[in-house]
């Protein structure tokens, strides 16, 4: 087990080093930062001084090592655009994104699982076939299309929920939450649904497929034969055996959702780190771009590694396998 842990964590660290290298490359191809930071009147001596201060006179590999050391401590430099510390900028936007993604994950479970069960139990009935057909749209349509439709219908035409911004927020320590005010709760509804829809259909399809499999198994037949009520067979015996893949999917997709939130955030002008990233991309603010890439990948890799390790704890056979 310990050997497995070391191997798995080691490869995660290697992957992160490579991602950091990619992030570092962004700076390398992006042109000379000295030229971006100095003003017109700067003399050659000024430039050289700045170059030395930024460590740009060092060899390439030394610069990369410095970048990695700083990144590991959450040091990503200063934003070109706002002249503020990149890490504190991202930290101030993090709560908005995490709240959105968390609510979307909850929605996908609360809606996706029951829909999956219903379509599996009532297989062949018109409404479950209809739902199955609709799920093609859920998988096909990009989140910004869904977001725009939601805004058009529920906020422009019906006026039920706001179509942009985050509403009022309450500050708890460094965490700002919109969930404690009425306007904040109203504002999160549409973006959360827009972000969750893809995941809802995914969860629904997986639960349906798993349920169909389990419903055919012997223990379900036995429970039925014993006269256990239908509801209990479906929800206690069958559903429980379907939840493992759903839990894995939700955990793994948390990272994907954070990345995809950037599209939703752009449509709804939701002040999360995705919106920060897109604004940085459009104004070529490289430190923010690099930091976002490293942070998102770190979340991604951590989740994947955790899932692998938990699997290995549950199922010892997986420890033997080559990684």
Partner 1 sequence: MTLQVDQEPVLTRPSRFARMRDSDLWHSFVTHRGAVVGACMLVVLVVAAFAAPLIAPQNVYDSAQLQLMNARVPPIWQEGGRWPFVLGTDIQGRDVLSGILYGSRTSILIAVSAVVLSLVIGVLVGLAAGFFGGIMDNLLMRFADVLLSIPTILLAILASAVAMDMLPSGWRALGAAGVIVFAITLSNWVQYARIVRAQTSVERRKEYVEAARLLRVSPRRIMLRHILPNTLTPVLVAATLSFGMAILAEATLSFLGVGMPASLPSLGTLIRIGNNYLFSGQWWIVLFPVLQLSLLVVAINLVGDWLRDALNPKLR
Residues in touch with partner 1 (CB under 8 A): 11, 14-16, 18-19, 22, 26, 29-31, 133, 136-137, 139-142, 144-145, 148-149, 151-152, 156, 163, 255-256, 259-260, 262-263, 266-267, 278, 281-282, 284, 289, 292-293, 296-297, 300-301, 304
Specify whether the CB–CB gap between 195 and 260 falls below 8 A: yes
> Shortest gap between Cβ of 191 and partner 1 (angstroms)?
14
Render the burial of 260-284: b for 16+ CB within 10 Å, e for the rest.
bbbbbbbbbebbbbbbbbbebeeee
Q: Which is nearer to partner 1, 137 or 235 (CB)?
A: 137
Report the residue number, 14 or 232, with the smaller CB distance to partner 1: 14
* Residue placing its CB nearer to partner 1 in the complex, 231 or 322: 322
Q: Residue 179 or 318: which CB sits closer to partner 1? A: 318
For the bound state, the minimum distance from the C-beta of residue 262 to partner 1, rounded and expressed in Å, comes to 8
Compare residues 92 and 155 and give the one whose CB is closer to partner 1: 155
Q: How far is the CB of 284 from partner 1 (least distance, A)?
A: 6
Rounded alpha-carbon distances, angstroms, from residue 7 to 17, 86, 301, 323: 15, 32, 14, 8
CA–CA separation, 309 and 289 (whole Å): 30
Alpha-carbon span 56 to 33, nearest angstrom: 9
Residue bearing tokens 């704890």: 313
CA distance 3 to 231: 45
By CB neighbour count within 10 A (0-12 exposed, 13-18 middle, 19+ buried), where does 304 fall?
middle
State whether residue 270 is helix, strand or coil.
coil
220 or 276: CB nearest partner 1: 276
Contacts of residue 157, defined as CB under 8 A and 6 or more positions apart, other chains included, come to: none
Rg (CA), the chain: 24
Beta bridge partners of 176: 171
């Amino acid at each position: 087990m310990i050997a497995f842990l070391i191997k798995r964590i080691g490869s995660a660290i290697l992957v992160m080093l490579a991602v950091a290298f990619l992030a570092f490359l962004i700076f390398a191809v992006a042109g000379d930062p000295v030229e971006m930071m100095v003003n017109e009147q700067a003399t050659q001596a000024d430039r050289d001084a700045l170059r030395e201060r930024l460590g740009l006179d060092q060899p390439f590999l030394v610069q990369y090592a410095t970048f990695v050391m700083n990144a590991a401590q959450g040091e990503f430099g200063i934003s070109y655009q706002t002249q503020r510390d990149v890490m504190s900028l991202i930290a101030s936007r993090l709560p908005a994104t995490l709240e959105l993604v968390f609510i979307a994950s909850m929605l996908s479970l609360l809606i996706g699982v029951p829909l999956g069960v219903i379509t599996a139990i009532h297989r062949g009935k018109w409404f479950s076939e209809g739902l199955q057909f609709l799920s093609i749209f859920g998988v096909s349509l990009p989140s910004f299309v869904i977001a725009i439709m939601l805004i058009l219908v529920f906020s422009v035409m019906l006026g039920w929920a706001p179509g942009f911004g985050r509403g009022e927020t309450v500050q708890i320590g460094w965490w700002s939450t919109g969930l404690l005010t009425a306007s904040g709760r109203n504002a999160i509804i549409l973006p959360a649904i827009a972000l969750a829809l893809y995941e809802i259909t995914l969860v629904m399809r997986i639960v349906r497929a798993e349920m169909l499999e389990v419903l055919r198994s012997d223990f379900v037949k036995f429970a039925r034969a014993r006269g256990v009520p239908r509801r209990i067979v479906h929800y206690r015996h069958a559903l429980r055996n379907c939840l493992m893949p759903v839990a894995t999917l939700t955990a793994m997709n948390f990272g994907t959702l954070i990345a995809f939130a950037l599209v939703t955030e752009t449509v709804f002008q939701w002040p999360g780190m995705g919106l920060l990233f897109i604004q940085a991309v459009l104004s070529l603010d490289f430190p923010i771009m690099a930091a976002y890439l490293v942070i998102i990948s770190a979340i991604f890799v951590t989740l994947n590694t955790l899932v692998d390790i938990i699997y290995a704890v549950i199922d010892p056979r997986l420890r033997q396998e080559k990684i």
